[in-house]
Amino acid sequence: MATIKDVARIAGVSASTASRALHDSDMISEATKERVRRAMEELDYSPNYSAQNLVNRTTNTIGIVLPVRESQDSLGNNPFFMQIIQGISSVCSENDYMVNLASGRTDDELRKNCQALIRSGNISKFIFLYSRKDDPVFDFVKKQKKVSCVVVGSSYEKKTQKSVQFVDNDNYQAGRDVADFMLKKGYEHLVFAYTDMNELVQTERYQGCSDYLKEQQKEGLSLSFSRVKEEENILKLQTFLANHPKTQAFIACDDIMAIRLQRLFKNSRLHKNYAVISFNNSLITEIANPALTSVDIFPYQLGEKAAQLLLEKSKKSKVQKVIIPHKIIERESTKIDEL
Amino acid sequence: MATIKDVARIAGVSASTASRALHDSDMISEATKERVRRAMEELDYSPNYSAQNLVNRTTNTIGIVLPVRESQDSLGNNPFFMQIIQGISSVCSENDYMVNLASGRTDDELRKNCQALIRSGNISKFIFLYSRKDDPVFDFVKKQKKVSCVVVGSSYEKKTQKSVQFVDNDNYQAGRDVADFMLKKGYEHLVFAYTDMNELVQTERYQGCSDYLKEQQKEGLSLSFSRVKEEENILKLQTFLANHPKTQAFIACDDIMAIRLQRLFKNSRLHKNYAVISFNNSLITEIANPALTSVDIFPYQLGEKAAQLLLEKSKKSKVQKVIIPHKIIERESTKIDEL
C-alpha cells in the first residue's frame, strides 16, 4: 500500500511538503500541489484518515443531520433528500472528507447521536438537512465549541450567528416568479393551495405570490387543504369554486399538493379544467396527469454548496446565507385552454 | 466530560470491566452490564470512538454504499432509500455504531471512496443499498480482507460467499400473491406491465405472477413500456387492447409504472376502466388517482435487518439470505366495477 513517503518520492518533494500539499496548505505552491496530486493519482494513494486524526485531533469528516423519524411528513414529503446527500458526498469525496450520518427517532436520540459524533471522532462540521423552529438538536450542536454548522433550509433566527451558515432557495422570489409566469400565461384569477402555513417554505412562497399579485393589482386568494381528509377537501374545493367561479388556476405549495389537487379535480366532478403550477420539480411532476409545470430548486447543488461552505478555509469573508437559483420547468399543466 | 473511569466508579466495577460491559463482552454478566448501562445513562456518557479505534484497530462504523449517481434511474425510482437508511441508522445508534456514507458519480470514484473508508477508519462492515450484475465496486469491497458485506437486494450470484449476506423481499412470492389477489377479486385477464426485464426485481415479480397464473390455467400476458416515449406507449397500449379486448387489469412492476399506466389510460382515451395493482407502496400510491393497491415491502425493516446481520457477533449460524415479508395494501385501484 502506498504511503505519503512514496508519494513524496515520486513527486520529488519532502514528506512534510507532500503532507502539506495533501492538506492544501497555503505554504505550498499550486505547482507543487499539482505534482503531489499527480503522484497520488499514479500510486492510487488514499490518505489514512485515522493516522491524520491522531495528529490533528480532528477528523476529515462531515456529519449530516437528518430530521427525526417522528416527523415522517418532512421525510416523506421531501423526495430530494437523496439528491442533497449526493451533492454533499460529491464535494466531500473531492476533498478527502468522509460523510457521517446522524439520525434518530426522537429529538433526544438525535441529540445524543450528534453528541457522540462530536466527542468521538471529534467531528466539528455539521450539515442540517432540515430547518425547524426551536429545534433542541440544532441548539445543542451549534453551542458546542469549535463546531460549525450549515443548514439546508430557511433561517428562523433573526440574530446573526457566526458559527452557522444557511443554504437555501429564495422561496419568496420563487413565489413572485410563479405569479408572474402565470399572469403572462393569461391566468388572472389565481388561488394558492397549501397545507400548513407554519412551514416557513410554504409561507415564503405564498408571500411572494401574494405580494406580486397585489403589485399587479390582481386577485390573490388562498385555500388550505388537509393532508388526509379527502372528503373534507372535496367539499371545500366545491364550495370555494362555487363562490369564486372566475378561478382559472392553482399555485400549489409543492408537487405533492399539486398531485392532490389533480385528484381532487377529478373526484369533485368539476365542469372546467384548471391550470396548476407547483414547486420542487420532483420525479412525480413528469408522471402527473397532466405533467406538472414546476419550479426546479436544484437539490444536488444545495448539497454541493452546503459542503463547500463548510470546507472553506478562510473565515474572513464568511457569508451568512447562500441562495441557490431556481427555474420554472414548463409542462402541460399550464397549457389549459378552457379559460 | 465523563470518562469510562467515572462510569466504572459509579457502577462499582473496575474500568476494564466497565469497558468490557460497554463492548457487550461475553465475559460480563447481564446484571453487571445493566449496572454499567445505568451509570452511563446517569453520567450522560458517550464512548470516545477514536480512542477505541486506536486500541481495537477497528472502528465502530458501518459504511453504507449508495448506487453511483450515473444510474439516476435507480435513485429516482427508489423512493425508499431514505427509509432503508433510517432503519440502518436506528440499529447502529442502539449499538453505538456510527454510519458512514460512500457515494460516487462513477464506479471508479465509488470504488476509491470505499477503498479510503477501508484503509482509513478501518471500516470493515458495509451495506450495499443496491444490487447490480457484475458490479466492480462490490467485487472490490468483498475481496478485501476482514471485510463483511450485507446487500439490500437480490443476489445475482449462485455461488455462496461467506463474507456476503443478503436482505431482500421475496419478489417471486410477491408476484404470486399479487396474481392470487387479482384472481380472487374477479380479474381473470391480467397483463404484467414492465419497463426492463434486465432488472432482477422486475423479472422475479413477473415470474411469480406468470407461474401462478399458469398453475391456475389463466392467461398471463406481459407488455413492456418505455420510460420516456409517451406517444409510443399510447400506441402500444391501444394496439394491445385492440388485440386483447378481454383485458381487465394490469399488474405494474412498481408504483411509478402504475402511475404511468393511469396516465396512459387517460391519454389513450379508452372506453373502459382497468384495475391496477403495483409493488412498493411508496408515498405516491396514496395520491394516485385512483389510489393504488400496492405491495408494501417494508424498507425500514430491510435497513434494520441489514444492520442487525452485520453487527451479529456469532458467525456460526450465519444465514446467507434474510427475507423481509411483504403485504398487499388494498386501495381503490382494484375496486373497478366495469369488468
Predicted ipTM of the assembly? 0.72
For residue A36, pLDDT over 90 is answered with: no
Reported as a pLDDT band with limits 50, 70 and 90, residue B77 is very low
B226 at interface of A, judged by CB pairs closer than 8 A:
no
- Whether residues A147 and A251 fall in one domain: no
Parallel, antiparallel, or unpaired for β B275-280 and B321-324? unpaired
Q: Is A86 on the interface with B (CB under 8 A)?
A: yes
Same-domain status, B148 and B246: no
Put simply, the answer to whether B259 touches A82 (Cβ < 8 Å) is no
C-alpha cell at B154: 437480490
How far the first Cα of chain A sits from its last, in Å, is: 70
| Grid cell for residue B296 | 408494501
Q: What is the mean pLDDT of residues A53-75?
A: 65
Question: What band does B162 get if pLDDT is binned at 50, 70 and 90?
Answer: low
Q: Is A218 exposed, middle or buried (0-12, 13-18, 19+ CB in 10 A)?
A: middle
- As for how many domains chain B has, the answer is 3
Domain presence at residue A255: yes
Mean pLDDT score, A309-327: 81
- Give the pLDDT of residue A38: 82
Asked if the structure places residue A6 within a domain, the reply is: yes
* Chain A residues with beta carbon closer than 8 angstroms to that of B61: 100
Whole-number Å distance between alpha carbons of B153 and B144: 21
Residue A46 lies in a domain: no
Same domain, residue pair B225 and B283 = yes
Kindly state whether residues A275 and A181 are assigned to the same domain. yes
All residues of chain B having their beta carbon less than 8 Å from the beta carbon of residue A48 are 119-120
> pLDDT (tens digit, 9 = 90+) per residue, A199-234?
888 999 999 999 999 999 998 899 999 988 889 999
pLDDT level of residue A10 (50, 70, 90 thresholds): confident
Residue of B nearest to A103 (CA): B89
When pLDDT is averaged across residues B193-212 and rounded to a whole number, the result is 92
Q: What is the mean pLDDT of chain B?
A: 85
Tell whether the model's pLDDT for residue A172 goes beyond 50.
yes
Based on the fold, state whether residues B70 and B130 are members of the same structural domain. Answer: yes
Q: Would the CB atoms of B89 and A66 count as touching at under 8 Å?
A: yes
B54: in domain: no
For range B257-284, the mean pLDDT: 89
B229 touching A, CB under 8 A? no
B43 and B117 fall within a common domain: no
Least reliable range by pLDDT among A12-26, A282-296, B173-187, B299-313 = A12-26
DSSP count for chain B of H helices, then E strands: 14, 12
Domain that holds residue B9: 4-47
How far, in whole angstroms, is CA A189 from its chain's centroid? 31
- Give the tens place of pLDDT for each residue, A125-140: 999 998 887 889 999 9
Residue B239's pLDDT band, with cuts at 50, 70 and 90, is very high
Rounded CA-CA distance B130/B137 in Å is 11
Question: Residue A77: is its pLDDT beyond 50?
Answer: no
A282 versus A238: the higher-pLDDT residue is A238
Would residue B77 count as lying in a domain? yes
- Beta B220-224 vs B249-252: how paired, if at all? unpaired
Regarding whether B198 and B262 lie in a shared domain, the answer is yes
One domain, residues B210 and B319: no
A107-116, B49-58, B296-305: the lowest-pLDDT one: B49-58
> Is pLDDT above 60 for B54?
no
The answer to whether the Cβ–Cβ distance between A1 and B119 falls below 8 Å is yes
Residues B68 and B140 in one domain: yes
Cell 408476484 belongs to residue: B175
* CATH number of the domain where residue A71 is located: 3.40.50.2300
In a domain, B53, yes or no: no
Q: Among B172, B124, B174, B158, which residue's Cα sits nearest to residue B144? A: B124
Which helix (DSSP H) or strand (DSSP E) does residue A5 occupy?
helix A4-11
DSSP label at B219?
-
Q: What is the pLDDT of residue A70?
A: 56
In the stretch 175-214 of chain A, residues with CB closer than 8 A to chain B read none
Buried b (16+ CB within 10 A) or exposed e, B288-315: bbbbbbbbbbbbbbbbbbbbbbbbeeee
Residue A339 lies in a domain: no
Cis preceding linkage at B47, omega within 30: no
User: Which chain A residue lies closest to B113 (C-alpha atoms)?
Assistant: A93
Same domain, A156 and A270: no
**Residue A178 and residue A271 share a domain:** yes
Q: Report DSSP state, residue B68.
A: P
pLDDT over 70, % of chain A: 86
Q: Would the pLDDT of B110 be above 60?
A: yes
Do B161 and B180 reside in the same domain of the chain? no
User: Is B305 part of any domain?
Assistant: yes
Lowest mean pLDDT among A325-329, B15-19, B84-88, B91-95: B15-19
